[in-house]
Structure 1
Amino acid sequence: MTNTKGRVLYLATVYTHLAAFHLPFMQLLHGKGYEVHAAASSDQGRKKEVEAIGVRCWEIPFSRSPYSLKNWRAFRELGRLLEYYRFDLIHVHTPVASFLGRYLARATGQRPVLYTAHGFHFYQGASLRNWLLYYPAERLAARWTDGLIVMNREDYDSAIKMGFRPGENLFYVHGVGVDVDKFNSIVSSRSLRDKLGLKADDIVITCIAELIPRKNHLFLLKAWSRLTKKICSAHLLLVGDGVLRQALECWVNGKSVSRVHFLGFRRDIPQLVQEANIVVLVSRHEGLPRSLMEAMAAGKPVVASNVRGNRDLVDHGRTGFLVELGDVEGLAGYLELLARDENLRLALGRAGREKIGDYSLDKVLAEMDAVYSRYLPS
């Protein structure tokens, strides 16, 4: 640790999470002279992206499922890491890793520990099982948490009820940040439309989300099957991969739903967003979805489910529309309204771009820098 101010450990269940959301914050601390470490499970090869910015990475075989026996092995290996290294700050993320990490940090006498809740798994509308499992776990782990960072108002209120104190050990930040300039400056090249054989005036509705149950794609597809009967120039782009891809493709083929394009995992998200006319996200629950922030930064109108996180971003009727879960007719109606009215799309897009300035990466970096400064040695 020669010539460094100290050691910081980032902990998450999988490296995909760290690579997708936390590289700028690791770079922030690395640039300030801290030796940055990361510990997670390699799930999709994104560990190399974290290593590429100078972070020392450790393989800890977490499972996302709290019921998996793999987490016992992860518990032992993380314990050995914390016994060998002393960290000046441990920043934990994601439910399984954050619970085990906070317990082991306290057991090995390491602190301070920061926890970013990217969306508590207990929330308004969550299942009884979620409340019985995650709420008591978070109440217990609160005593091992020196600082809690939240990114939506519902979680902020829940944290206060758990005993966290605003400004002392509870901090609200505007998500993980979005590079507003990157999404605002790209000029559509029409390359994607050309590859898909779309016309210049076709309406492109894009959903960027992992194909997993939480993202609720079947709800979207049911609404889409109605919309295709009314607007023959609209195309639905599903960007992302996941365990439900085959089942969703079978549903589309079985119902003969037209103009649905499964694009899989992509790295050209700014270009895809710029070529869209409308962006949609109908998750069952969210923390603070970056796909909506990116769409708003690009000046696109959004349609989203009326759930925590989404409603922090979307002002109904001003920057987009919120629809209740299960309201297939309502979802199809909002998509049709936007598809038919270009002026409305432009107006909502402008308002969304204005609002998302508060969620820019520069501002979030400043917010996080202020939080880190409270806990790191000066």
Structure 2
Amino acid sequence: MRTVLLELTRRRRFISVRSVPDTENYQLSSRLLRKTANVCHVPLLCSRGVNDGPTEVSVPMRLSESRVLHVITRSHWGGAPKIVKYLSTESPASVAVACGPGGKLVDELRNEGVPVYVVDSLQSPPNPIQDAKSLYRITTLVRELEPDLVHCHSTKAGVLARIAARLNDVPSVFTVHGWGFYNTEYDFMGSVIRRGERTLARLTDGFVLVSENDAEAGMRYDITADTPSRVIHNGVSEWRAEDEGDLFGELPIDPDKPIIGSVCRLSHQKDPLEMLEVANRLADRSIDFEMIIAGDGPLMDDCRRFVEHNDLETVHLLGFRSDLGRVLSTLDVFLMTSRFEGFPLTLLEAMHVGIPIVSYDVGGVREAVKGGETGYVVERGNTGAFTERTARLVEDDAMRERFANASRRTARDEFTVDRMVSEYRTFYRELVAAEREGIAHPA
């Protein structure tokens, strides 16, 4: 596999039209002309014949309307699929999306009129047969759609779509929504994943890192050092909590008590049992609070057993909820106990509503949460400190209100969809222009 990838890195041909002696040896293909037409207004020098001088072909400029094919593994709703939706519906670029089957992203995009190509074989777990089918399908899509840029999201799609793009001589950009090796950073599998990322970087024309933390990891492990890279923080749509309603009329919770909790998948990464341990310690200190956790996942049964074993009567496990706004509108303090993250959207959504944050220092959290101003960022694994910071916000109404206002202001000033999309568009233009320069100059 590594040999194949290395060979692909040599496939990109950089052609100097100035050095072509005659039309028998070189002709501009219609595909190249169409591709360049979407890049810029650039003079191309084409040979008319052996004895004739070069003629200049002018191609109109449409840099701001590059054709982009987004490829993402899972279409189930979550952080990366939301970013794909924002980039597909809030940008003037002509876009299409290829993704795995069965998720909310497909319906969301089709409702907005975005072309969606469902790749039935595209799935997260490794499967050589299904992966080969997916590679063939994505390669065919790139050839047929002729995008100016292939934008890859998530690990599996990042592998297959970058190969497909290189096979079609189309530039690719890979958004790192948290590196795939974070969960196994210090063991053998982490080493294997990093080695694979270094090889795939040779097929990559640009990296987008959603946090400075991811950017530092990419440089530290020599993945992004030789490839154009850009840190673009995630953004979320602005909305008002008062438009959503809350859960007080539905759940047996006391509105006079501070409500703490989270919206997260109940998985190893999100570590909900750590959040429940914080609740247990707060209860041991006789602090009045209610906790709600919205989300489902493989640790749901473990969480239920923990709640029952410790008699945590004020903790409510809601399971999956589609009404994120109502959940957030009910919370007074948002907790995040994840083991690793990229730049979590749910945290930004909580900030937009105006909720103070208490989170472990993982991923790009410190770049979003201003410690002592919009919330607290605690060293990962320090349950005592996490509990203390949470208790401080639960018991101090004035501090909670002050942090809430600062949280809302920070989110609406810094973490908006408009800002994010604008930065992506700028990077797209730079990458497509660089590809045009590569065609016009020899390697």
Q: Look up the match of 2:89.
A: 27
Separation (CA, whole Å) in 2 of partners of 1:375 and 1:246: 47
TM (normalized to structure 2)? 0.76
- State the secondary structure of the residue aligned to 1:174: coil
* Deviation digits for residues 330-374 of structure 1 (CA, Å, limit 9, x no counterpart): 222221111100111122223323332211122112111212222
Q: Look up the match of 1:137.
A: 196
CA contact (8 A) 2:139 2:168 kept: no
Task: Please give the residue correspondences for 1:1-378 in structure 2 after superposition, counting only pairs within 5 Å.
Answer: 7-16=67-76, 17=78, 19-29=81-91, 31-32=92-93, 34=94, 36-60=95-119, 61-66=121-126, 70-106=130-166, 108-123=167-182, 126-161=185-220, 162=222, 164=224, 169-175=228-234, 177-180=235-238, 182=239, 185-187=240-242, 191-231=246-286, 233-356=288-411, 357-376=413-432
Separation (CA, whole Å) in 2 of partners of 1:110 and 1:37: 18
The one-letter code matched in structure 1 to 2:177 is H
| Worse overlay, 45-54 or 298-307 | 45-54
Question: Structure 1 residue 150: deviation in Å?
Answer: 0.8
Separation (CA, whole Å) in 2 of partners of 1:110 and 1:364: 27
Structure 1 pair 336–97 and aligned structure 2 pair: CA distance change class (3 A): same
CA contact (8 A) 1:214 1:284 kept: yes
Question: Structure 1 residue 327: deviation in Å?
Answer: 2.2
Question: Structure 1 residue 199: deviation in Å?
Answer: 2.7
Question: Structure 1 residue 123: deviation in Å?
Answer: 4.7
Question: Structure 1 residue 121: deviation in Å?
Answer: 2.5
CA contact (8 A) 2:74 2:101 kept: yes
Separation (CA, whole Å) in 1 of partners of 2:144 and 2:244: 52
Rg larger for: 2
CA contact (8 A) 2:74 2:100 kept: yes
The one-letter code matched in structure 2 to 1:71 is D
Question: Structure 1 residue 48: deviation in Å?
Answer: 1.5
- State the secondary structure of the residue aligned to 2:349: helix
CA contact (8 A) 1:92 1:114 kept: yes
The one-letter code matched in structure 2 to 1:103 is I
Separation (CA, whole Å) in 1 of partners of 2:287 and 2:302: 25
Instruction: Tell me the percent identity.
Output: 24
CA contact (8 A) 1:279 1:301 kept: yes
Q: Please report the RMSD computed on the Cα atoms of aligned residues, expressed in angstroms.
A: 2.8
Question: Structure 1 residue 252: deviation in Å?
Answer: 1.9
CA contact (8 A) 1:6 1:88 kept: yes
Separation (CA, whole Å) in 2 of partners of 1:97 and 1:270: 30
* Deviation digits for residues 104-130 of structure 1 (CA, Å, limit 9, x no counterpart): 221x22321111111113359833245
Structure 1 pair 67–213 and aligned structure 2 pair: CA distance change class (3 A): farther
* Deviation digits for residues 314-338 of structure 1 (CA, Å, limit 9, x no counterpart): 2222221122333222222221111
| Worse overlay, 192-201 or 88-97 | 192-201
Structure 1 pair 153–324 and aligned structure 2 pair: CA distance change class (3 A): same
Q: Look up the match of 2:46.
A: none
Structure 1 pair 6–358 and aligned structure 2 pair: CA distance change class (3 A): closer
CA contact (8 A) 1:42 1:59 kept: yes
CA contact (8 A) 1:285 1:309 kept: no
**Unpaired runs of 5+ in structure 2?**
1-33, 39-64, 437-443
CA contact (8 A) 1:152 1:287 kept: yes
Separation (CA, whole Å) in 2 of partners of 1:152 and 1:159: 11
CA contact (8 A) 2:197 2:223 kept: no
Question: Structure 1 residue 220: deviation in Å?
Answer: 0.8
The one-letter code matched in structure 1 to 2:137 is E
Separation (CA, whole Å) in 2 of partners of 1:125 and 1:332: 27
Question: Structure 1 residue 310: deviation in Å?
Answer: 1.4
Structure 1 pair 265–125 and aligned structure 2 pair: CA distance change class (3 A): same
Separation (CA, whole Å) in 2 of partners of 1:83 and 1:151: 29
| Worse overlay, 188-197 or 351-360 | 188-197
Separation (CA, whole Å) in 1 of partners of 2:178 and 2:330: 29
CA contact (8 A) 1:273 1:298 kept: yes
- State the secondary structure of the residue aligned to 2:249: helix
| Worse overlay, 362-371 or 348-357 | 348-357
* Deviation digits for residues 300-319 of structure 1 (CA, Å, limit 9, x no counterpart): 11100111221221222222
Separation (CA, whole Å) in 1 of partners of 2:186 and 2:156: 18
Q: Look up the match of 2:57.
A: none
CA contact (8 A) 1:117 1:150 kept: yes
The one-letter code matched in structure 1 to 2:310 is K
Structure 1 pair 352–220 and aligned structure 2 pair: CA distance change class (3 A): same
Question: Structure 1 residue 86: deviation in Å?
Answer: 2.4
The one-letter code matched in structure 2 to 1:292 is L
Question: Structure 1 residue 232: deviation in Å?
Answer: 5.5
